[in-house]
A = this chain, B = another copy of it.
Amino acid sequence: MERIYKACLLIIGNEILSGRTQDANMAFLGEKLNEIGIRLDEARVIPDVAERIVATVNEVRGKFDYVFTTGGIGPTHDDITSQCIADAFAVPLILHPEAYRLMLDFYGQEQLTEARLRMAHVPEGAELVENDISIAPGYRMGNVFVMAGVPKIMQSMFSKLAPTLTGGLPMISKTLSSSAKEGEIAGDLKEVQARFAEVDIGSYPFMGKGGTGVRIVMRSTDQQLLDHCAEQVEEILKLHG
């Protein structure tokens, strides 16, 4: 039996919960993690409240193989993620010599404000994750990867840390779209699902300008099984489309 590696994403930030900013990191990570054989198995969006961050980090780092956080590692007063990660691991927040050197090189002594220096502080024991975009690094602390919230920076950090992750087999997926109605294919679909226990068959209705219909998404780590399953689903959709 193939080991399944599971990850949890913590999106830290009031601005996502308020509806003002639409998160763009979850879909990116869901897809990229799968490519390296890691399933995004849960995501949580939590507010910028220290006790909530500490408690959630400690809960999920025990439950999942990997935890990724986004947001809250900038220079301003509302950037409290690093202190929370340090508290969660019960270690002090320290000035990281390499992070300091990177920041000093980039900003120079005069521009390296007290606020910017905050971004060179990491929990004791953390390993830096490079940031090609805006220098201030992310880091790994145990199985927790701490990244920026700005998508472009997060993506840069993820590209650096991804090669260090261990994953299993990626899920391969196959999608069939049809104008069939869910209520009419559901019985047959259930039977196909029963025959292919190792394929995860999802049925997703859609409504748009082009009309209504359904997308059947099949996922498995086994390409042959997936192809075989898709043939049978296709038959059903042909009958009802």
Question: How many copies make up the complex?
Answer: 2
Q: Of A40-48, A85-93, A124-132, A157-165, which binds chain B?
A: A40-48
Contact B17 A202 (CB under 8 A): no
Is A95 in the interface zone, CB < 8 Å from B?
no
Contact of A206 among B29, B78, B150, B206 (CB under 8 A): B150
Contact bitstring A138-175, B, C-beta under 8 A = 1, else 0: 00000000000110110000000000000000010101
Known contacts A77-B190, A190-B76, A203-B76: does B46 contact A30 (CB below 8 Å)? no
Determine the chain B residues whose CB is within 8 A of the CB of A118 once the complex forms.
Answer: 186
Q: Please pick, from B28, B77, B202, the residue contacting A15 in the complex, using a CB distance under 8 A.
A: B202
Cα of A14 to Cα of B42 in the assembled complex, Å: 9
Interface residues of A (CB under 8 A from B): 13-23, 26-32, 34, 39-48, 52, 74-79, 107, 111, 113-116, 118-119, 133, 149-150, 152-153, 171, 173, 175, 182-187, 189-190, 193, 200-207, 217, 219
